[in-house]
Amino acid sequence: MIAILHGYLLEGSGSNLWTRSIIQSLCENGETVHLVCQENHPELYDFICEGILYYSDGRKKTIFKHQPVYSGKCIMHKPKLGETLPVYVGDKYEEFSNPQPMINLKDEEIEKYLQVNIQVVTQLVDEYQIKVIHANHAVLMSVVAQQVSEIKKIPFAIMPHGSAIEYAVKRDKRFFNYAREAFDKAQRIYVIGKEIQNRVKELFPGLPSIESKMLELNLGVDTSLFNPVQARNRKDKIKELFELLKVVKRGKTDFQEQQMQNELKADISKKQLLELINTSASYNAKLTDEKLEEKLQMIDWDREKIILFVGRLIASKGIHSVIASLPAILAAEPNTRLIVVGHGPQRELLEALIWALQHGHTELVLNLVKWGRELENNGNKPLEEIQFYFDHLKNSAELENYFKKAQKHLDSHRVIFTGYLTHRELCNLFPVCDVAIFPSVVPEAGPLVFLEAMASECFPIGTYFAGMAASIDSISEAIPPEITDLMKLSPRADQTVLDIIKKVKKAMYVDDNYKKRLREVAIEKYDWENISKKLASDLYQIHY
């Protein structure tokens, strides 16, 4: 019996995606998994056969149950937390009125969260004879696993992901101390490649034994779900997507999209814009846009080149750099569109940026870049990648020409925002796109979307550092270096937009044979089945 402590939802990307993917694969391989998380809709995941809610007074209630569909099964255990959910980056959550970046929490709030989870995990260890615990993230579930391990004398493992390290452990001494003790006491530490291994070693140089506990565990991709389609069949694939969307709940309405367009003005102040953003963002962002089908029907799937971005719409994911690159890309390739999949506080800023570029409001564009992260309630840094690009254009006497290109070629129909999509829908979208781009600003342990693009034969491009670099390097023996080089965006902020323009224009015409080789590498190295078998085998071998 394996217990996996996640603490968050199963929808979305990053560690959420890793968790649901690895658990499904474990269940397919006949394992029984006990998952501790905060998922609101267990019925959406066929590997979950039972969901149990735990109250603070010790009571529990079965909230969901059905017969297992795999040879193994997952039972979900959900501690009832109240209104506060400690997170790494601010976001909206269906059941929590107070999701808070954990570095903002008081000591007593952190301790309450830990104790609620420790009580539940201790209870399920006793009831289900759990043999080993796997905890996602450097904090806080690692602390829960550590304390339960000491109480029940069973081994535990930690799998650090980049977000907890960057947004909690490095920023707050309390979480550094929590993580340091948990990593010191853990019997195993799973690392996604050399980059995360080095990050952990650099964090805790005073723990000499930490390297001997590490085992590399690749990211994975469901190569049976993410399949390529031939160019002539793209329209049929989109029809399949439309069928799936018939039962999907909707978020941002057409009225809310138009409201943003109608109320923007060239001389809008920062205060006015923040008010407009707050008004326009009053929808459930974790749902699909109301008019998505109409937007996708505008695309000529036989003739247009499609660029795809999938991820959180926040500055650290770098989508603003893709928007800034579009005037130059469209001037060279007018029949190009960008599809932006995801949700986040940067969406309305991006819509305002497109509007300002489209209408030639140069001063507003410069203001939006300067106000930057303040408009997504994430500090006061500007969008420096765009600032550097504009400085380059200014020094080359090309800035005025850039804004003319934007007015001529860029309009709101060239960029299609979809809202949130699940894997169920995404597997129909990746293979109908030509290029997938992930220009992350913050190093990530392992971008799973990069592997999904590979499996779908959609040419992937990403910032060449951390886990993205490891994924790109893993392909280096399969395709020529000049093709591999097209995947690499410089991590230097002053090169980002320039690199996107240069690489995307070439990547749109990469030979199909190279794309086929990418899928072969995805199957050989990254299929979830092999990764889950390796995880289960190792977990059962570690000892307290």
Domains along the sequence of the chain with CATH: 2-220+528-539 (3.40.50.2000), 291-524 (3.40.50.2000)
Interatomic CA distance for residues 339 and 430, integer angstroms = 10
Rounded distance between C-alpha atoms, residue 315 and residue 373, angstroms: 7
Rounded CA gap, 340 and 49, in Å? 33
Residue 59 near residue 252 (C-beta atoms within 8 A): no
Confidence class for position 98, pLDDT limits 50, 70, 90? confident
Higher pLDDT, 528 or 92: 528
CA distance 501 to 359: 22
Per-residue pLDDT, averaged over 453-461, amounts to 98
pLDDT at site 149: 98
Tokens of 155: 């081994």
Residue 140: is the preceding peptide bond cis (ω within 30°)? yes
So what's the pLDDT on residue 192? 85
Mean pLDDT of 239-255: 95
Q: Does residue 110 surpass a pLDDT of 90? A: yes
Per mean pLDDT, which range of 183-187, 205-209, 404-408 is the poorest?
A: 205-209
pLDDT band at 379 (very low <50, low <70, confident <90, very high): confident
Q: Give whole-number Cα distances, 25 to 41, 84, 141, in Å.
A: 19, 31, 22
Whether pLDDT at 412 is above 90 = no
Gyration radius (Cα) of the chain, Å: 23
pLDDT at position 33, please? Answer: 97
Specify the pLDDT at position 319.
Answer: 97
pLDDT (tens digit, 9 = 90+) per residue, 155-196? 999 999 888 998 999 999 999 999 999 999 999 999 987 878
Task: Write phi, then psi, for 177 (nearest 5 degrees).
Answer: -65, -40
Q: What is the pLDDT of residue 201?
A: 93
The model's pLDDT over 315-331, given as tens digits with 9 standing for 90+, comes to 999 999 999 999 999 99
Residue 416 scores a pLDDT above 80:
yes
Confidence bin at 442 (pLDDT 50/70/90): confident
pLDDT band at 523 (very low <50, low <70, confident <90, very high): very high
Looking at residue 466, its pLDDT comes to 83
| pLDDT at residue 208 in the model | 81
pLDDT on residue 121: 97
Q: Which segment of 85-99, 468-482, 526-540 scores lowest on mean pLDDT?
A: 85-99
Number of C-beta neighbours around residue 84 at 10 A = 17
pTM: 0.84
Which of 43-52, 234-243, 344-353, 442-451 shows the lowest per-residue confidence on average (mean pLDDT)?
A: 442-451
CB 35 within 8 Å of CB 164: no
CA distances from 235 to 231, 239, 310, 491, 516 (A): 9, 6, 20, 36, 20
Which whole number is the average pLDDT over 516-536?
93
Residue with tokens 């694939």, as numbered in its chain = 237
CA 494/CA 385 separation, integer angstroms: 6
Q: Which whole number is the average pLDDT over 249-253?
A: 95
Query: What is the predicted pLDDT for the residue at 96?
Result: 84
Dihedrals phi, psi of 342, to nearest 5 degrees: 140, 180
Burial of 191 (0-12, 13-18, 19+ CB in 10 A): buried
Q: What is the mean pLDDT of residues 20-45?
A: 95
Instruction: Quote the pLDDT of residue 264.
Output: 95
Average pLDDT, the chain: 94
Q: In this predicted structure, which of 220-224, 382-386, 430-434, 445-449 has the lowest mean pLDDT?
A: 445-449
What residues does 132 pair with on adjacent strands?
A: 2
Do 196 and 204 form a contact (C-beta atoms < 8 A)?
no
| Cα distance between residue 452 and residue 459, in whole Å | 10
pLDDT at 12 over 80: no
Beta strands in 169-233 (DSSP E): 188-191, 214-216
State residue 299's pLDDT score. 97
Q: Provide the pLDDT for residue 17.
A: 86
DSSP letters for 25-89: HHHHTT-EEEEE---S-GGG-TTEEEEEEE-TTS-EEEEEE---SSSSEEEEEEE---SEEEESS
What's the confidence (pLDDT) of residue 55?
94
Residue in the structure block whose two tokens are 């996604």: 192
Look at residue 127 in the predicted model and tell me its pLDDT.
96
Tokens of 356: 């300002």
